[in-house]
Chain A
């Protein structure tokens, strides 16, 4: 089963770029990505640029297309990246989620990908 692991965090809580802690986090992410690659679980995964680079599009029927600067909603924790993993069951996906470096100070939402028969 495929699971989306959505990585949320309050950017003010994470390590600051340029610091030793930040370097360690990058190394930890590389290690995690290696692990899921090697186990065959990795389908894809990426970091996203921060929410100041986001644009939100709405195109209601009968209305005009609107674009707003920023994410779809202003939240304290924002989406920073994701992994798409192929796992045996939810337990396996949850075990991986706990290992994602951001889980130390943020939240990882784990959701199964919809399967259409």
Chain B
């Protein structure tokens, strides 16, 4: 058996594989260690060491009955030793191979023998603290809650591993030096802080779902991580309708994954998708989350977006989409968040109930219309509306601008094809 094969327990036929233990274990043990040590970097380093020891010793000795507890105790003991050592010899490096592998016990630790309390809620609020920059929020959340390696996170965000490593080190330093607390916010601050957490999770999902740069249309790993995060958050906060709303929204988006990309990697628009490829299990899960959320009778932006997605999901074909329902939902969404991007999407839906001309008028009347001038989807929308109005020259010019602004090569291919079609239509006139 080589080092990368997962170890298995020799007791009672139960099989524990290290990858399974590490993901769920990792985040829960890390969160608890951080709460106790008040130092995320130290907690992470010691846990990393404990996992390496587990990789060496569990194949030989068998997986412990309570792997989480074992990892916690070993990591905590090493942290205590490290702290003592630093006090005695500030310059001595920490050497894991000389450590006594049999964990020692102290009274403080026995309370955690039976079960590791779930401290991850504190951790996720800390990772998504507004004092931390968005890229660092995403990176830190993926590392500490999802247990992704720094390398995997770097690849997901198209940066080098050392860039991501530095980013994470800096943010962990800021948490200590600026005094960012490891706390779940109190009732007064919970709503806005929860909004920040949801925004981070949705950003992670969107990075995976529709990369604005790079050559692949979907990076599925990030979508899975975001779904995992929102699911764990929903379990910790079952009375928050917007958490369920976001979960519904992401499940519904994700249900279309197989239909969204052609074999050659080109994106397929919603109207052209083969709906038989939509994942009905995910759609049902999404609808269920939406139903649970609706019982709280508190509207919110994620629930509304999910409801819009749900209307699409219910239509067996694009031509049977219930547009009036979508328009009504967008009206409410625009009322809650009256910005140009939402306005643009509202207008596109409106074009199916009131016609493309009315939609164009609405867009031009938006108070922050100027904000759309360099917004790629705006030109893609214009191209579509003008085409439907048979204003082919305007459609071509909008399509050209959409191609210029696009940073995704697959999207550019799609738009170039569209441009070719438009140009040939003009040629025929």
What does DSSP make chain B's interface, helix, strand, loop or mixed?
A: loop
Nearest-CB residue, chain B, relative to A87 = B179
A69 proximal to B (CB < 8 A)? no
Assess whether B177 is in contact with A89, with CB atoms less than 8 Å apart. Answer: no
Output the least CB separation between A41 and chain B (Å): 13
Query: Considering the complex, which residues of chain B in the window 95-131 have a beta carbon less than 8 Å from any beta carbon of chain A?
Result: 129, 131
Judge whether A89 and B179 touch: CB under 8 Å: yes
Residues of B within 8 A of A36 (CB): none
* Contact present for A112 and B189 (CB under 8 Å): no
A101-117 contact mask (Cβ, 8 Å, vs B): 1 or 0: 00000000001100000
B170 to chain A, nearest CB (A): 15
Instruction: Tell me if A1 counts as interface (CB < 8 A to partner B).
Output: yes
Over the window 85-99 of chain A, the binary record of Cβ atoms lying under 8 Å from chain B Cβ atoms (1 yes, 0 no) is 001111101110000
Which residue of A is nearest B182, CB measured? A89
Closest Cβ–Cβ distance, residue A5 to chain B (whole Å): 13
B199: interface (CB < 8 Å):
no
Contact with B along A66-102 (1 / 0, CB 8 A): 0000000000000000000001111101110000000
Asked if B177 and A112 sit within 8 Å, CB to CB, the answer is yes
* Distance to closest chain A CB from B213 (angstroms): 31
Whether a CB of chain A sits under 8 angstroms from the CB of B178 is: yes
Assembled-state Cα–Cα distance A8/B177 (Å): 23
Counting contact residues on chain A (CB < 8 A from B), the size range is 10 to 19
Instruction: Give the residue of B131, B185, B189 whose beta carbon is less than 8 angstroms from that of A90.
Output: B131
Number of A-B residue pairs, CB cutoff 8 Å, is 26
Give bound CA distance, A112 to B178, whole Å. 6
**When the two chains form their complex, are residues B189 and A91 in contact, meaning their CB atoms are under 8 A apart?**
yes
Complex Cα gap A89–B177 (Å) = 10
Q: Bound state CA distance, A90 and B193, in angstroms?
A: 14
B6 within 8 A of A: no
CB distance from A93 to the nearest CB of B (A): 8
Give the docked Cα–Cα distance between A88 and B182 (Å). Answer: 12
Q: Looking at the complex, which one of A89, A111, A112 makes contact with B181 (CB distance below 8 Å)? A: A89
B131 with A94: CB separation less than 8 A: yes
Q: Which residue of B lies closest to A114 (CB)?
A: B177
Which residues on the B side are within 8 Å of A90 (C-beta)? 129, 131, 178-181
B127 to chain A, nearest CB (A): 14
A87 proximity list for chain B (CB < 8 A): 179
Q: Which residues of B contact A93 (CB under 8 A)?
A: 179
Inter-chain CA distance A3–B177, complex, in Å, is: 11
Contact of A112 among B129, B179, B183, B185 (CB under 8 A): B179
For B178, list chain A residues within 8 Å (CB).
90, 111-112
State how many angstroms separate the Cβ of A22 from the closest Cβ of chain B: 30
Is there an interface contact between A1 and B179, defined as CB atoms closer than 8 Å? yes
Could you tell me the distance between the alpha carbons of A1 and B129 in the complex, rounded to whole angstroms?
18
Question: Closest Cβ of chain B: how far from A113's Cβ, in Å?
Answer: 10
A91 to B189, CA, bound (A): 10
Nearest-neighbour CB distance to chain B for A98, whole angstroms, equals 11
- Give B80 Cβ to nearest chain A Cβ, in Å: 19
Note all chain B residues with C-beta closer than 8 A to A112.
Answer: 177-179
- Which residue of chain A is the closest to B130 with respect to CB atoms? A94
Residues on the B chain within 8 Å of A3, using CB: 179
List residues 158-195 of chain B with CB under 8 A from any CB of chain A: 177-181, 183, 185, 189
A88 partner residues in chain B, CB cutoff 8 A: 181
- Inter-chain CA distance A1–B176, complex, in Å, is 11
Given contacts A89-B180, A91-B180, 5 further A-B contacts (CB under 8 A): A90-B129, A91-B181, A93-B179, A94-B131, A112-B179
What are some 14 contacts across the A-B interface (CB < 8 A)? A1-B179, A87-B179, A89-B179, A89-B180, A89-B183, A90-B131, A90-B178, A91-B180, A91-B181, A91-B183, A95-B189, A111-B178, A112-B177, A112-B179
Q: Which residues of A contact B (CB under 8 A)?
A: 1, 3, 87-91, 93-95, 111-112
List 5 tightest A-B contacts by C-beta distance, closest first. A89-B181, A90-B179, A89-B179, A1-B179, A90-B180
